[in-house]
Amino acid sequence: MLLVAVLSACVGIPRGGSVQDGGTVEGDGGDVDVNFIAPGPAEGATPEQILRGFIDAAASPQNNYEIAREFLAPALRSDWDPDAGVTIDQGGRTFAPVADTVQLTVSPVAAVDDRGEYRESGNSSPLSWTYSFEQVRGEWRIAAAPPGIVLESSTFADVFAAYSLSYFDPSFTRLVPDQRWFPSRASTATRIVGALLDGPAEWLKGAVATAFPEGTSLTSDAVPVEAGTARVDLTKPALQADAVTLQRMQLQLSSSLVQLSGSVGGVAAVSNVAITVVGNSTQTVSPLSLAAPRVDPRALVQRGDEFGFASGNRLEAVPGISTAVVAAGADAAVLSADHDQAAVRSAAGVTVIQADGDIRLVDNRQGLLPPTMDPFGFTWTVPAAAPSALLAHDAAGGTVQVATSWTGASTIDSIQVSREGTRLVALLRDGTQSRLVAAAIIRGDRNAPLRLGDPVELRVMSTGATAVTWVDDITVAVLLGGADATTIVTQQIGGRSAPVPKLADVTNLVGGNGPTQLRALTSDGRLLLPRGSSWQEAGSDVRFIATQLGSPD
């Protein structure tokens, strides 16, 4: 495969003709755009060589995988569906001729389905496919092939990119990301809009909302981008939309499409969205803006007999909250986005503290995990030894049992609700094996949680995991191992995992605004923050770090 890298914009590369001198490439030394341009079939190639070339050509998605289709027999070229899915492996493939066929075997590490949903593999059990061949004008071509493509992990990262489709929480006051992966090519905008209109990932259904009237789709399979404006023409059901609904539709589209920066060859940059319905312009609406929840960048900690935001050697108290947290003898806490409510765990159980002075013990069961809270005012509690005994407590003192759908778990080590309140992540354990799962929160009247949707398994760990925390709206961080040897891994919801700089003797982990604002606590009370490839001490004598849902500023 020929790898071509250019500094500012990818251009067409001739695949024939003599070599010509090129001019000097000016650049600022920044990131380069990468396009893979694979060679077509070689004259006289064997079936195995044809199959190898076809697999390699999957790294060139331009023009609807034009090069890959050259390896196919004419009858298969138009029928083969490369968008049916991606199997991602680490190499080490085997090609075994069997009669008039060749069998390809790979060890998968992840997969992307036809909707762009990414899943890491729980194991690397080999997968095999059989390809048959026929001769076309004296040259071997593939006559039968499974849909989809195979890519090595390193190549996948260059060919595909992650895009967050935007949906709403049930109150239409917060955006919820649904991460998908699509190949970088001219039709990427079309894939994004088509997937958005098709609805959220299966595991999110019932927890998120969309503004598009039911049955809305694109009038044609194209979203042209002209001078930075994506033109989205919708079918007749969109005529039902009133001004508020149009605002929300516009926000969903723009939030999903402005991720197209034009930094990847073949993908046009999008800065605006124009909606039409069956070719007719819609009414002009003022733009709607919803900011993702952000927490105070300062760590919220208890140190000695003080609780508050760490600023150098002093703590800034939370009015109406800090004194009660200390008085409760708390060893864990979570603070609401508007800072008017906190939930703490102590020897007595879980207590909810209101800034107006109301203090209520809501759960006195033994062995409770640190509580979590959602933006609708519910505090969530569960005992470590009873994963299904999940309760949600409202601000008025009412309690509801939240039905869970995870099975096979003997204990639960950590839970946390996302800041917009539609998703929950949990660390479940069955014996010595830990599982990180995500589940949608299905709500009823007044946004009371009713049940969790079917969980999505994000990661299986042989080493025991002790804590999970939200890092941003699509990423969580997991603390694995004991005090002597700890590891931190970030895991995207619908994406890839990555290690964080190693550190030892860590007992807890709390997220901030992105990976650079993770806060780790050691057993001897040192507060650590990531700095490049290492960690920096930012405080001492800390009893615990509290979780924040947001900031009123």
- Report pLDDT for 13: 40
Q: From CA 552, how far away is CA 27, in angstroms rounded?
A: 42
pLDDT at 112 over 80: yes
- Report pLDDT for 186: 84
Q: What is the pLDDT of residues 486-520, one digit of tens each?
A: 889 999 999 998 888 888 889 999 999 998 899 99
Q: What is the pLDDT of residues 184-242, one digit of tens each?
A: 888 899 999 999 999 999 999 999 999 999 999 999 999 999 999 999 999 999 999 99
pLDDT at 173 over 90: yes
Residues 6+ apart with CB under 8 A from 58: 65, 68, 82, 149, 150, 151
Reported confidence tier of residue 313, pLDDT bands at 50, 70, 90 = confident
Q: At 437, list the tokens.
A: 């799962």
pLDDT at 7 over 50: no
Strands 391-393 and 379-381: antiparallel
Q: From CA 526, how far away is CA 333, in angstroms rounded?
A: 18
Q: Report all structural domains of the chain as residue ranges with CATH numbers, in order of start.
A: 2-14+34-158 (3.10.450), 186-281 (3.30.300), 300-548 (2.130.10.10)
The secondary structure of 124-148 as a DSSP string is ---EEEEEEEEEETTEEEEEE--SS
Q: From CA 352, how far away is CA 333, in angstroms rounded?
A: 10
Instruction: Please name the amino acid found at residue 238.
Output: A
Reported confidence tier of residue 458, pLDDT bands at 50, 70, 90 = very high
Q: What is the pLDDT of residues 389-448, one digit of tens each?
A: 999 999 888 999 999 989 889 999 999 999 999 999 999 998 778 899 999 999 999 999
263 alpha-carbon distance from chain centroid: 21
Residue % of the chain over a pLDDT of 70: 92
The strand pairing partners of 439, in sequence order, are 424
Instruction: Please name the amino acid found at residue 288.
Output: L
User: 315 to each of 239, 423, 437, how far by Cα in Å?
Assistant: 55, 31, 35
Q: From CA 424, how far away is CA 427, in angstroms rounded?
A: 10
Mean of pLDDT values over 243-248 = 96
- Report pLDDT for 388: 96
360 alpha-carbon distance from chain centroid: 36
Q: At 469, list the tokens.
A: 């925390």
- Which region among 42-56, 116-130, 133-147, 290-304 has the lowest average model confidence (pLDDT)? 116-130
Asked if 507 and 547 touch (Cβ cutoff 8 Å), the reply is: no
324 alpha-carbon distance from chain centroid: 37
Mean of pLDDT values over 246-258 = 95
pLDDT at 25 over 80: no
Mean of pLDDT values over 91-115 = 93
What angle do helix axes 47-57 and 62-69 make, rounded to 10 degrees? 170
pLDDT at 483 over 60: no
Model pTM above 0.85? yes
Going by C-alpha positions, the residue among 400, 406, 388, 383 that lies closest to residue 447 is 400
Reported confidence tier of residue 171, pLDDT bands at 50, 70, 90 = very high
- Report pLDDT for 482: 60
Mean of pLDDT values over 298-305 = 96
- Report pLDDT for 460: 84
Mean of pLDDT values over 158-175 = 95
Q: Over the chain, what is the mean pLDDT? A: 90
Q: From CA 181, how far away is CA 160, in angstroms rounded?
A: 6
Q: What is the pLDDT of residues 320-379, one digit of tens each?
A: 999 999 999 999 999 999 999 999 999 999 999 999 999 999 999 999 999 999 999 999
Residues 6+ apart with CB under 8 A from 157: none
- Report pLDDT for 17: 43
pLDDT at 23 over 70: no
Higher per-residue confidence, 21 vs 295: 295
